[in-house]
Amino acid sequence: MALEFPGQQTLIAALDAAVVLGDAPAVTDALRSSLCSMIRQQDVRLPECVFNPIEDHYARRELYTSAQYGYSVVAMTWGPGQGTRIHDHSGLWCVEGVWHGRLEITQYELAEQRDDHYRFNPVGTIEAGIGSAGSLIPPHEYHTIRNPSDSAVAVSLHVYQRTMVRCGVYSPDDSIAGGPWQRRGERLLGTDQAA
């Protein structure tokens, strides 16, 4: 269930205007620009619940899904030290903006694949602060996200091409020589309650 918040219509109008551009690079460029501007100008205020972490995992809270264009908006809350393993977005483009705190994001490129085993090369890590945004366009979608703070909460806003119900998650696997190798598994994604 989507949450209401001040500036929601401003956010939706900006996202709609970007999504109608059509091709993924144009859409994600426009979305990045819009998110950065809205975060910095503080015209949009996210619901208070998105600033409340969940102790045992990062929180995913749905803010909006467009019935007309299909994209979805999810706020993620990262408690101190919380993060992800290497994962993909199952072929969907995404734009991610840091709303509160700082996040460490590492991008990976696929070096080799053997069946359900993958080998990645890290291609860069950034520590992103409030008002910064990045995009992932397949096949360049492999990454990790982590809150590097041991005391502060971080919040990011994610705009997905459509509702993301699953993603690929990669776990170290020593069963193949010449690694390090990762085995791809599927993770079903849900959303957390607005507590």
d(CA 73, CA 38): 14
Q: Is 57 annotated as a binding residue?
A: no
DSSP-derived secondary structure for 12-80: HHHHHHHHTT-SHHHHHHHHHHHHHHHHHHT-S---GGGGS-BTTB-EEEEEEE-TTT--EEEEEEE-T
Query: CB neighbours (10 Å) of residue 167?
Result: 18
Q: Is 89 annotated as a binding residue?
A: yes
Q: Is 143 annotated as a binding residue?
A: yes
DSSP-derived secondary structure for 133-178: EEEEBTTB-EEEEE---SS--EEEEEEESS---EEEEEEEE-SSSS
Virtual torsion, Cα 66, 70, 73, 76, nearest 10 deg: 140
Binding residues for Fe cation: 87, 89, 143
Binding residues: 87, 89, 143
